[in-house]
Structure formats: C-alpha cells, structure tokens
Amino acid sequence: MATPQAADDTLRKCLTGIHGFDAITNGGLPKGRTALVCGGAGCGKTVFAAEFIVRGATEHNEPGVFMSFEENTEELTKNFASMGFDLSALIAKKKVFLDYVYIERSEIEETGDYNLEGLFVRLGHAIDSIGAKRVVLDTIEALFSGLNNTTILRAELRRLFRWLKDKGVTVVITGEKGEGTLTRYGIEEYVADCVVMLDHRIIDQISTRRMRIVKYRGSAHGTNEYPFLITSGGISIFPITSVGLNYTVSDKRVSSGIPALDKVLGGKGYYHGSSVLVSGTAGTGKSSIALTFAESVCRQGKKCLFFAMEESVSQIVRNMHSIGVNIEPHLKKKLLTIHASRPTLTGLEMYLVTMHELVKEHKPDVVIVDPVSNLIAAGITSDVKLMLTRTLDFLKSKNITCLFTDLSQSSGNKDDRAEIGISSLMDTCTLLANLEMNGEHVRTIRVIKSRGMANSSLSYRFLLSGNGVDIVDVLKNKDNCFVRKAQREYIR
C-alpha cells in the first residue's frame, strides 16, 4: 500500500480526449508540464493541438489558449470547423482564447539581449483572462526562426518552459521535423517532458499516418508505432494495447443456422461472444454459410452487422434466394445491416474506424466480415493482422460473436487457414474445400478447432440447394469416399 508521500509524488495526468491517445499514455499528457508534438508537414500536429484544446474545454471543463504563429484567427476557425468544432461559440463562452501572433523573421536579431518578455506578457494575459488550464503554441520554430546561436536558443526555450510550468498550465508545443533530428533545432525534444512523434508516409501507394511516444518523463507508456486517422471528428488512434485480454466469456451457445453443423460443434453451435473463421477457396460456400448464420441470428430477434467487401446488398439478397434463404424481412426490420464497401475505397485504417463506428451505432449481437482477405488490398499483411487483432479484442470486449470468412489460395482439403495469419486468434476455425471425385464437384467442410468444446474432427460433405445449407455425409479420408452409416451420430 502506497504511503501518502508516495501518492503525492505520482505524476498527474491530463486527459486529452483524443480517442486512443489517453489509453497508450495511461491517462494523457503530463499535467502542468510541457509536451512537444513534432513531425513533418501534413502529419497532423495542429489537428492534435486543436483537439487537445477543444476536448479540454468541452469535456473536461478546462479552458484553453491557442496561440498561433502561422495561421490567423479566421483560418484557424475554419480549420477547427472542418472537424466539427465550433470555435466561435467556445470563444464567446470564454472557454477558448485564440490569439494570432505575427512575427516578421527579418526583424529578429541575434543578440545577447534576445528574450521573450513580450510573449510572456501577452500569453499571461490570455491565460488569466479565461482562467486557462491548457495552452498550445503552434509552432515553436516561428519564435526562433532568425536565431542560429544554440546557447541563446536553449536558454530561451528553458525559460519559456519553466515560465509555463510556473503558470500551472498543461502545454502542447508543436514543432517541425528536422534533418536527422526530431525537430528543426534538435533542442526542444530534450527540454520537453513528453515528446509525441507524428508521421505521414506512403507505402505501396497507400497513405498512412503513424504516432509514436518518443519519451515521457516519469510515466510508463506504449512505445510502439500506432496507426491513426484524421476524420471529421478529429484524431482516432486504435492501439493494440487499448483492449487487454481481460474480457469475460459466456457459456451460452448461438446456433450456426445449420443444425447438422451445430451437432459437429458439440451439439449446440458456437459460443456466444466467440470468434469464428470460415476459410476456403473460391466457390466453396463461405458467404452462404456466413449469411445463413446471419439469417438465423435475425430470426431470433437479434441484430447482425454484416461487412460485405465483394457484393452489393441487392446481389447478396438475390444470391441467398437461390438457396432458399430470405434476408429481406430482416433488412427491413433493421435486424440485419449490410455495409457493402471495398476497403481500397477508404484505406485500411479508415475501414477499421468505420467498423468501430457502425458497431457502436448499431450495437449488434453478431458481426460478420466477408472476406477479411480483401483487406490485404488496402494495406500490408502485417498491418492487416494488427487491425484484425484490435478488432477482435474490441468485439470480444463488447461480448459480440464475430464470424470472418477468408479466401485461401490452395485447392483441395488442406489445412490452409487464413493466409493473413489470424487463425491462432480465432476460437473456432472451419475449413471448406472443393473436391473432384468421380467427375463430381463435391463441397466439404471440416472443423479444424473449436476452443472449449468437444467437436468432430471428420470431414463432411455439404450441399447448397434450394433448401439451404446441409451436411449430408462423412468423408472417409483413407480412400476419399463417403460413408453413409459410420459416424452418422455426429450429424444426425
């Protein structure tokens, strides 16, 4: 048990309100200290700073001062509005103080008497006028653009940071990326208590943004690179560490919609809140099995959210009619919601954000993604796996049953599961295959694993007909023929 003295020594945090950032920093930025947000042009530094001020004013009752050295008040107001932030209203309520300071670089002289007294007076007035708890200086280079003497520069930076600390405000200072250094002068990062590095890069013609906490004095923090997005609602970060492996599980079962498959799965179907992978080559029936599951869920009055990456809604409805499955009533009742969009349209991270937002909006009992292999076209494989890991943890934390289909490349009844490499993350893995036997095209299904339940490891023949999906025979692996009597207890 910590002593009172130890409790007082604990570093206090200031919640930024930026989605995901407070999770990877264990509570936000250091309260009453200075943080540096640095990076190249267009990486999102000003957006980060703006959201820090607005979230503080609107969500944490902490008024803020935004002092800009590059954009005037009108430009900043328009920029804030693009993220849905009404800056004029916040200024009127004295929640935000916006100040544009014009500095003529040619007038800056490098002398031993150079100081920031004028800035201190102006900034002090702004802080006191609204009782500010947060301050942004955007960007720091503008103050020292005419200085080359690092001794003067370091002294003034330290004095500025100390003055801000004495005012008791939490500060975000933005800085431009330098050549071989985090910032242009390579000094700011050593003076600041926390350094956040933003990066905007192009990989295989796909635009991505990354965030990294370079240092954080007195606090543990996530050290990985985290993908983030700038949307109409601000910045969104989805760190893999934001959801731990501490979610609860259920003993309840949910039917797959195929009675014979339920029997293969210990007699009752999938566990509620578990993850299911259905993989196979083209034409093996992955989407049919997934949509049969969706129809079964909706028939029980529960909600299903279906992410379709290859077919339109009308095409899905028509195709399911061919096997006797009618999903139109569920669409009309809004029990079934189909989001049909290719991930290449928005990019990998944006598609992830869309998934999260739709899950929060519709609050489904089941989420189906068909097929996850299409995500590779929108990003590199390692990023796709990280994205799916975050998505799985997010869905499990909400106790949502999720089913992913995956298009594998090899043919035959091989154990070729999820070339993205996510089969180990799944609770239940089902393999579909097409076999050519005696001139006949035969579909087979086999449960590779199903955690926490007894299940058959045999391969079965299944049919797609006007009566839906049905498992009819057991495949005897020794001579690739079907036996209609042996082991029938698994499916009848």
168 pLDDT higher than 80: yes
pLDDT, mean of residues 447-458: 86
- Least Cα distance to 464 among 448, 480, 444 occurs for 444
Predicted confidence at residue 419, as pLDDT, reads 52
Q: Which pTM was predicted?
A: 0.70
Identify the domain boundary among 215, 242, 269. Answer: 242
Position 194 in a domain:
yes
Per-residue pLDDT, averaged over 482-491, amounts to 43
- pLDDT, one tens digit per residue, over 120-155 is 889 999 999 999 999 999 887 777 665 666 677 777
For residues 155 and 83, membership in a common domain is answered with: yes
Same domain, 55 and 182: yes
What is the model's pLDDT at position 76? 87
Q: What is the mean pLDDT of residues 284-291?
A: 94
**Residue 105 pLDDT level (bands cut at 50, 70, 90):** low
Same domain, 211 and 187: yes
pLDDT grade, residue 14 (50/70/90)?
Answer: very high
Domain containing 262 equals 253-490
Q: Under 8 Å CB-to-CB from 351, ≥6 apart: which residues? A: 341, 343, 375, 378
pLDDT per position as a tens digit, 377-424: 666 677 777 778 878 888 988 999 999 999 886 554 444 444 556 788
- Report yes or no on 263 lying in a domain: yes
The answer to whether residue 281 scores a pLDDT higher than 70 is yes
Q: How far is CA 13 from CA 17, 50, 60, 163, 451, in A?
A: 12, 18, 13, 19, 40
How many other CB atoms are there within 10 angstroms of residue 306's CB atom? 25
Number of independent structural domains in the chain:
2
Active site residues: 70, 310
| pLDDT band at 239; cut points 50, 70, 90 | low
pLDDT at 184: 62
Task: State the chain's mean pLDDT as an integer.
Answer: 82
Q: Is 84 helix (H, G, I), strand (E, B) or coil?
A: coil
Shortest CA distance to 459 belongs to which of 492, 429, 432, 428?
432
What is the average per-residue pLDDT within 69-91?
87
Of the three residues 212, 242, 272, the one that is the final residue of a domain is 242
Residue, of 443 and 388, whose pLDDT is higher = 443
> pLDDT higher for 54 or 386?
54
Tokens read off for 292: 């049969």
- 94 pLDDT exceeds 90? yes
Q: Which of 83-97, 237-251, 342-356 has the highest mean pLDDT?
A: 83-97
What would the two tokens of residue 433 be?
């295959």
**Are residues 279 and 386 located together in one domain of the fold?**
yes
Q: Are residues 411 and 465 in the same domain?
A: yes
CB 189 within 8 A of CB 195: yes
For 154, the 3-state DSSP assignment is helix
Rounded Cα distance between 474 and 488, Å, is 7
At residue 287, the pLDDT reads 94
Q: What is the pLDDT, as a whole number, of residue 84?
A: 82
CA distance 469 to 177: 58
Q: pLDDT tens digits for 312-327?
A: 999 999 999 999 999 9
Residue, of 465 and 348, whose pLDDT is higher: 465
Mark 253-267 as b/e (b = at least 16 C-beta within 10 Å).
bbbbbbebbbbbbbe
pLDDT average, residue stretch 455-464? 85
Pair 285, 418 in one domain: yes
CATH code of residue 413: 3.40.50.300
Q: What is the per-residue pLDDT across 427-441, written as a single tens digit (0 to 9) for each?
A: 999 999 988 777 677
69 in a structural domain: yes
Q: Which of the pair, 43 or 295, is modelled with greater confidence?
A: 295
pLDDT of residue 373: 84
% of the chain with per-residue pLDDT over 90: 41
Cβ atoms < 10 Å from Cβ of 336? 25
Is 248 a member of any domain? no
Q: 95 and 24, same structural domain?
A: yes
Structural domain contains residue 114: yes
258, pLDDT greater than 70: yes
pLDDT-derived band at 107, boundaries 50, 70, 90: very low
- Pair (157, 262) in one structural domain: no
What per-residue confidence (pLDDT) applies to 490?
44
Same domain, 11 and 123: yes
The answer on 262 and 203 residing in a single domain is: no
Check whether 72 has a pLDDT greater than 90: no
Q: Which amino acid is at 16?
A: T
pLDDT at 32: 94
Domain annotation covers residue 425 = yes
**247 part of a folded domain:** no
**Same structural domain, 268 and 357:** yes
- Mean pLDDT for 175-183 is 71
Please indicate, yes or no, if residue 94 is contained in any of the structural domains: yes
pLDDT of 110 > 60? The answer is no
205: confidence class by pLDDT, cuts 50, 70, 90 = low
Are 158 and 285 found together in one domain? no
For residue 119, pLDDT over 90 is answered with: no
The mean-pLDDT minimum among 66-70, 139-143, 146-150, 275-279 falls in 146-150
Domain termination site, one of 242, 272, 298 = 242
